[in-house]
């Protein structure tokens, strides 16, 4: 029983790490998409 509980806790820790990494990537992607939108707006303005 102890082994099963320990495995689940470890598994939850791994999921938490992956979630944090995914959140960081999501924020980075949002930043890149915002830059692209700003660049598009600049191009339209320059035309």
- Check pLDDT > 70 for residue 15: yes
pTM of the model: 0.62
- Distance (Å, rounded) from C-alpha 35 to C-alpha 16? 29
Count how many Cα atoms sit within 13 Å of the Cα of residue 26 in the half-sphere of its side chain.
6
How many domains in the chain?
A: 1
Convert the pLDDT of each residue in 18-38 to its tens digit. Answer: 999 999 999 999 999 999 999
Output the 3-class SS for the chain.
CHHHHHHHHHHHHHHHHHHHHHHHHHHHHHHHHHHHHHHHHHHHHHC
CA distance 6 to 28: 33
pLDDT of residue 9: 82
The confidence score (pLDDT) of residue 31 equals: 97
Range of the domain at 46: 1-47
Q: How many residues does the chain have?
A: 47
């Amino acid at each position: 029983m102890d082994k099963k509980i320990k495995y689940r806790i470890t598994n939850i820790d791994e999921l938490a790490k992956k979630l944090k990494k995914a959140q960081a990537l999501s924020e980075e992607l949002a930043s890149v998409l915002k830059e692209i939108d700003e660049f598009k707006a600049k191009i339209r303005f320059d035309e």
